[in-house]
A = this chain, B = another copy of it.
Amino acid sequence: MFASKTEYDRGVNTFSPEGRIFQIEYAIEAIKLGSTSIGVRTPAGVVIAAEKRVPSVLVIPSSMNKILEIDHHIAAVMSGMVADARILVEHARVEAQNHRFTYNEPMSVESCTLATCDLSIQFGESGGKKKTMSRPFGVSLLIGGVDEAGPQLWQTDPSGTYTRYDAQAIGSGAEGARTILTERYHRNMTIEEGENLVVDILKQVMEDKLSKDNVEVAVIRTDGAKLDIYSPDTIQRIIERIAE
């Protein structure tokens, strides 16, 4: 079936005879080429973490943010094409600000997730006044946040689908990470257990040796609903903790 396949897979919006749109499936492959990101929901908050692929000792690791703030109470961690993620997160930020301005309340995490997906599914469209991408976004986001419905973790993908998870991993190490999550995650973890879990998983699935400079960790605590991106020192303490 390979020959047949290649005839349908370059049109961004062409169905194959089996009813598939290959460019969306290929965009999903782009995510698998990306660095690994993980999120877990605990009653006390959402912990998100990501691998950073630091190309050189001369890089300033803090400039390679994988964790991006959307609003005080919502953050995204990404796997896949960096610039695509920035477009989606920038769009979510604007929507979240508009929501605050219009309704004088924080946007819900689900609405914020939906806003990024609405942008995702418009690729390849023309006409109308809004500019759209001419291809699917090659990125998946884990969006963590806290709102009236409590702490939540959502995943988006290039097809514009979004799903809520207790714990999820994306990127090149996702398969291994999900196996560990299934084994070790439980719903009543403390924040500290969550931190330990995500950093320990990254330690196992990353090709490079884990250090305080090549991972990012952040938490949005239920109490206060505020994003806290950990400093390298804090991350170092988690690394030491799990090494014990």
Contacts and interface: CB of A to CB of B under 8 A. Distances in A.
A13 interface: yes
Query: Which 10 pairs from chain A and chain B are nearest by CB?
Result: A128-B131, A19-B29, A63-B164, A19-B30, A83-B160, A15-B26, A60-B164, A13-B135, A83-B121, A58-B166
Given A125-B132, A161-B83, A23 B33 contact: no
B33 A19 contact: yes
A231 B177 CA distance: 31
Contact of A160 (B60, B86, B120): B86
Given A20-B33, A83-B120, 17 more contacts: A9-B17, A12-B14, A12-B134, A13-B135, A19-B26, A19-B29, A19-B33, A21-B81, A55-B163, A56-B165, A57-B182, A60-B165, A63-B164, A81-B159, A83-B160, A87-B121, A125-B132
Interface in A53-81: 55-60, 62-64, 81
A14 to B, nearest CB: 5
Nearest to A160: B83
16 contacts: A6-B7, A9-B17, A10-B11, A12-B134, A14-B135, A19-B28, A20-B33, A21-B138, A57-B182, A59-B163, A60-B163, A86-B117, A86-B121, A125-B131, A125-B133, A127-B132
Contacts of A8: 10
A105 interface: no
A164 B56 contact: no
Tell me the number of copies of this protein.
Answer: 7
A10 B7 contact: yes
| Chain A interface SS verdict (over half) | loop
A242 interface: no
B129 A83 contact: no
Contact of A167 (B31, B32, B33, B58): B58
